[in-house]
Amino acid sequence: MSSILVALMQYEPATIEWLYKTLNMPRPSRSYSLPGIAALEDLDLTVSRTWAIRTQHVTVFASWILCATIPTHRLTRTLVLSTIIAISAMYVWVVPSFFLTVGTSYTDLTCVCDAVSVPDGAGGQTIAAGPPFDWSTIAGVAAMFQSAGLSQMAGAWIHYLAFDLFVGWTIARDAAAVGISKFFVAPCLLFTFALGPTGALMYLGLKGVLGRSGVRGQLI
């Protein structure tokens, strides 16, 4: 965790300084090199600084507003689909760095995938080979994110943006098809935006109570 904060310092120093104080974490005395930082800089995909990410945030927010207000309008369909396609393309561009660890240089960072390491001659280590991350346990998933670089974190965030928006749009269209008021659907969309499955579950319960029987919507 500390190494990730150090790597982020160059992008959001004020925010990371606040995190150090809030979490009461000791500041390391040296810099760290995390996987994916060089690739992320080459792609100009720094999470909080790039035009692409900020633009996607704006279009995602606008898409959610349209889903809540005019879910069946042509404008909503156009904006939502174009946003999802753009985000998905960005995800495909970024996500390979999550898995391409062979030959990646680390400094003072323990590799959680038990890969064989050899000195790189520059004070760090080069990961020669190793098994994939353990997706079958919570500990394995946590370790995976603890070792993630900026590109991997950006990929995870983009993943949430795309899927949550798609689910929210589907909910909004389904509600319109089965005759549920936008007033009742709005909280479900808010929770879908913030907490994903929680909002989807809320809507399924709402549909069971208020949905018109015998009318087929976008969902079950």
DSSP 148-182: --HHHHHHHHHHHHHHHHHHHHHHHHHHHHHT--H
Structural domain including 72 reads 35-99+148-210
pLDDT of residue 89: 85
Residues 3 and 43 grouped into a single domain: no
Verify that 39 and 68 share a domain, yes or no.
yes
Q: 56 and 12, same structural domain?
A: no
Task: Tell me the pTM.
Answer: 0.60
- Per-residue pLDDT band for 165 (boundaries 50, 70, 90) equals very high
Domain contains 55: yes
In terms of domains, do 95 and 153 share one? yes
**Residue 122 is assigned to a structural domain of this protein:** no
36: phi then psi, degrees, rounded to nearest 5 = 95, -15
Size (the chain), residues:
220
Token pair of 167, please? 């689910």
Distances (CA, A) of 150 to 19, 87, 197: 17, 17, 25
Number of domains in the chain: 2
Do 75 and 155 lie in one domain? The reply is yes
Residue 130 lies in a domain: no
Mean per-residue pLDDT over the chain, rounded: 69
pLDDT digits (tens, 9 = 90+) for 42-86: 444 444 445 666 777 889 999 999 999 999 999 999 999 999 998
| 92 and 171 fall within a common domain | yes
Residue 170: inside a domain: yes
**119 torsion bin: left (phi>0), alpha (psi -120 to 50), beta (else):** beta
Same domain, 160 and 199: yes
